[in-house]
Structure 1
Amino acid sequence: MMLSENQSKELLCQYGVSIPEGRLAHTPDEAERLCKEIDARKYVVKAQITAGGRGLAGGIKFAATPSAVANEARALLNSTLVTDQTAASGEKVRSVYVEAAVDIANSYYIAISFDPGSGRPMLLASASGGVEFEQLARMDESTVKSHILDDTPEARDALTAFLKDVGIEGPEALDTIENARKAFCDNDLTLVEINPFVRTRDGKWMAVDAKLALDRNASFRRPEFDSMITDPGTSSDETEAQKYNINLVQLTGNIGVVTNGAGLGLATNDMITDAGGKPANFMDIRTTARSFDIARGVEMLLTDAQVQVLLLNIHGGGMTAADTVAEGVNFAYSRAKRKLPVVAHIAGHNAEWGTNILRDRKVPVETFDTMSGAINRVVEIAKTGRAR
């Protein structure tokens, strides 16, 4: 789960990463009043959304006076920003972050994620930071360089050499990146992104913008982050689904998708798109979900007015057997007012039992032995509106 800028900076600051002085505001008057607490000659007003690309979408404004800050906050609050990283509907701005403008000498990009090969933290860095970074990175992959981070004395020398090649030098910059690595490891993060990472005119290194991602699968170890699940970038249904051991992302199509597994969910959505359909969601039923949890996730799809048909693509295995998912679907349909047609492909542990549950309990289901068969049929129903 992505954290907003103010949340990300608050966590990084606790680990010694320098940030510009700033305050979070929810109204124009509050934004103007908080300027008095910030030691600055000029201010930046930033829309607080979780998606990236807000600068290019008009979500970052400069203001010379507290009254100008209020005007910019008034324009941003309750507006909707549409960026390359939001859905077509965009993301609503519910708060703004007011901070001291920084006199930037050099701007860089750094991020810490996991190296898929070694499973160790990996530093990504570029000499080109700021709002244009993503466009530059798309055009030229060599813009970004990578380096595996280790917590050893030898690793610091290697990191120093790597950063020098990017253009980042000095013990303060090195300490900042080490602190960001510690925050990444200590808090079960999947991403630390600082863009821009800047050197100011007076030689200080600061995180002018930052984005962190929490690993929701490690949430049982991090109860202190529970309150952050109300983050403005997460819809109410997505937030609710998290409580029931379901990872849900709402999309813009009309085919409701029920799958158990992130990889299976992504592959299913890709196949729907390739077949000419449009998924209404991504769903990953966690292995810890019970049948009543699954029922809650299915109910969310049944009450979504844009969803016209459900695709159930389940592979029973591990801790989630096919009949557990089928029972969840049955529970949802037994109390639903809106009973949409279901197309199902069920394989793996207890697959036959799961299929029988759906048929015996009178769920309006068509079953297929192959994924492609189920997907072609669900796309047909979504386009024509006709089920058997």
Structure 2
Amino acid sequence: MDLLEYQGKQLFGRHGLAVSDGKAVTTVDDAVAAANEIGYPVVVKAQVLIGGRGKAGGVKLAANEAEAREHATNILGLDIKGHIVRTLWIEYASDIATEYYASVLLDRGAKKPLVMFSVEGGVEIETVAEETPEKLIKENVDPLVGLTREQAVDIATRGGADADVIEGVADALVALYEVWIEEDASLAEINPLIVTPDRQVKALDAKVTLDDNAMFRHKENADLGDSANADPIEQKAKEQDVIYVKLDGDIGIMGNGAGLVMSTLDVVAQYGGTPANFLDAGGGSDAAKVKQAIELILANDQVKAVLLNIFGGITRCDEVANGLVAAFGDLNPTVPFVVRLDGTNDVEGRKILEDAALPNVHAATTMDSAAELVVKLAKENS
């Protein structure tokens, strides 16, 4: 789950990171009231899960009430790369002496947390890593020990932080690591981490991604994110506890197990197709859940053909076949289906489909033949 900037800042504040005073609002009048309460100058910031807000006109400085109203009016409802602005963050404008960068993420290669720090804040960190890698400090952390203050001070010192704010930067790094650990985040990033003229260290922005699989431990975070801009099919899938990710193609994909689904997407792409979704029905899916999954796939108008690739283990192929029959009875799909059943009760499953004689349903015996056929059918149906 990706958090909006203001949500990330509120999370930071709970863990002792210094952030500017601000307020989230959804109307122009509330934006003006918040600006008047906070005091001018303020920054009116669009809250969307996409970069480039400033270039798109989604971040504006307001020196008085008239400007606050003008900017709020212009930014609310703004379309920024397909994300509609429905929430604004009104924040007191910070004086900035220096901009740094800080983040904590998982180093999958080292299988350890990774802390990154750079004095080149406020720009794309990828550019810094490519053009001036010596200015980006990367430090793995022992997960059994955590980020110690001594290690944080060393990172800030080697990274080139001004001598008089090394302690403040170390405090921010330790707090950021605490956010990453205690909130089960996969990414906690501040860009920029600013130093004010009076030498305070503050988080001016926040980019946080929380691990959805750990959300049962964080009920207080369940309603975060940007549900207003969420894809409606993905939102429905989440409510139904189905793992579904919408993609840009026209071939619906359903499998059981993340590895099998990922392989299916790859094989479809090898045959020249473009998957419309990732859908993992999971282990032990019964007929009802299979039908539910097919409904989600067909809710995408871009789908021209569907591939069901099932390797039965806990999931029984006859249950999958019954779910497909039920889905056809209720939904009357107009797109072709390719079904590959292998594993537990595969003979029974294929017999169910054969007896049902569903229109435009094609059987396949291997993943390759299924992928090749579904790509062919999708092109014919375009």
2:160 is aligned to: 167
Distance 1:104 1:355, change over 3 A: farther
- The Cα shift of 1:310 comes to 0.8
Q: Partners in 1 of 2:151 and 2:231 — Cα distance? A: 42
1:58 is aligned to: 57
1:110 aligns with 2:105: no
Gaps (5+ residues) in structure 1? 83-89
2:331 is aligned to: 336
Q: Partners in 2 of 1:142 and 1:291 — Cα distance? A: 56
* Alpha carbons 2:149, 2:171 under 8 Å: kept: no
Q: Partners in 2 of 1:125 and 1:261 — Cα distance? A: 37
2:377 is aligned to: 381
* Alpha carbons 1:47, 1:95 under 8 Å: kept: yes
* Alpha carbons 1:359, 1:365 under 8 Å: kept: no
Gaps (5+ residues) in structure 2? none
| TM-score (normalised: structure 1) | 0.86
| SS of equivalent to 1:269 | helix
Q: State the Cα deviation string for residues 263-309 of structure 1 (Å, max 9, x = none).
A: 44444334434433222222233447654334323202213221111
1:203 is aligned to: 199
1:214 is aligned to: 210
| SS of equivalent to 1:51 | coil
Q: Partners in 2 of 1:256 and 1:99 — Cα distance? A: 43
| SS of equivalent to 1:283 | strand
2:21 is aligned to: 21
Structure number, greater radius of gyration:
2
| SS of equivalent to 1:32 | helix
- The Cα shift of 1:241 comes to 0.4
Q: State the Cα deviation string for residues 165-215 of structure 1 (Å, max 9, x = none).
A: 222452222122212222222222222121111222211111111122121
Of residues 351-360 and 57-66 in structure 1, the stretch that sits farther from structure 2 once superposed is 351-360
Code of the residue aligned with 1:167 in structure 2: it is G
Code of the residue aligned with 1:334 in structure 2: it is G
* Alpha carbons 2:335, 2:381 under 8 Å: kept: no
| SS of equivalent to 1:50 | coil
1:43 is aligned to: 42
Q: Partners in 1 of 2:369 and 2:102 — Cα distance? A: 44
| SS of equivalent to 1:212 | strand
- The Cα shift of 1:242 comes to 1.0
* Alpha carbons 2:337, 2:362 under 8 Å: kept: yes
2:74 is aligned to: 75
- The Cα shift of 1:17 comes to 0.9
- The Cα shift of 1:110 comes to 1.9
- The Cα shift of 1:142 comes to 6.3
Code of the residue aligned with 1:78 in structure 2: it is G
* Alpha carbons 2:340, 2:364 under 8 Å: kept: yes
| SS of equivalent to 1:20 | coil
| TM-score (normalised: structure 2) | 0.87
Q: Partners in 2 of 1:193 and 1:338 — Cα distance? A: 45
* Alpha carbons 1:249, 1:281 under 8 Å: kept: yes
Please show how residues 153-192 of structure 1 align to structure 2 within 5 Å.
155-168=148-161, 170-192=166-188
Q: State the Cα deviation string for residues 225-267 of structure 1 (Å, max 9, x = none).
A: 2323663342222111012222222233211121333444444
- The Cα shift of 1:109 comes to 2.1
Of 217, 220, 227 in structure 1, the residue corresponding to residue 223 of structure 2 is 227
* Alpha carbons 2:136, 2:159 under 8 Å: kept: no
Give identity over the alignment, percent: 33
2:12 is aligned to: 12
Distance 1:212 1:366, change over 3 A: same
| SS of equivalent to 2:301 | coil
Q: Partners in 2 of 1:13 and 1:288 — Cα distance? A: 42
Q: Partners in 1 of 2:173 and 2:183 — Cα distance? A: 15
Q: Partners in 1 of 2:196 and 2:208 — Cα distance? A: 23
Q: Partners in 2 of 1:289 and 1:11 — Cα distance? A: 36
* Alpha carbons 2:291, 2:323 under 8 Å: kept: yes
2:92 is aligned to: 100
How many residues of Structure 1 are paired with residues of Structure 2 in the alignment? 377
1:127 aligns with 2:108: no
* Alpha carbons 1:245, 1:288 under 8 Å: kept: no
Distance 1:9 1:229, change over 3 A: closer
Q: Partners in 1 of 2:27 and 2:290 — Cα distance? A: 39
